[in-house]
Amino acid sequence: MPDRLASMTAQDALLAIMVAVSASDENLRTSELVAIQRIVNHLPVFAGYDPDRFAQVSSVVFDLFEEEDGLDAFFGLVQDALPEKLFETAYALACDVAAADGTLYEQELQFLQEIRDELAIDRLHAAAIERGARARHMTA
């Protein structure tokens, strides 16, 4: 793990998942970044989170995505830092960020599948989480 982030907390891991899903299509959209910021500012799981860590966590994600086996390393870091009880939370946050711009791109869909697989999210639970994200980000 890069020295910039001495140890990843559960909150860092949740943030890393959101940044990673936004970066998965190689285009960080403003709507996705705003969604991440809103989530970090308002969800109880991020209570007391140091906003200065955003840049550090993001940098780790971007660095890992540049490496040959970076995706495996990324999921290793996330799984080490994230308690199992927050796996579905991580997937829900990823879905919200992916849906924030109103369009799910192929790379985002593939990355969401990777998250489901790596975090062993039950198919029925995943479908409910996805449906909730779609409903929250529906436009008139």
Domains, in order of start, for the chain = 10-136 (1.10.3680)
The amino acid sitting at 30 is T
Question: What pLDDT, on the 0 to 100 scale, is given for residue 1?
Answer: 43
The pLDDT tens digits of the residues spanning 90-131 come to: 999 999 999 988 888 889 999 999 999 999 999 999 999 998
Q: Count Cα atoms within 13 angstroms, Cβ side, for 126.
A: 14
Confidence band for 3, pLDDT divided at 50, 70 and 90: very low
CA dist 20 and 114 (Å) reads: 11
Read off the pTM: 0.91
The pLDDT tens digits of the residues spanning 41-65 come to: 999 999 999 988 999 999 999 999 9
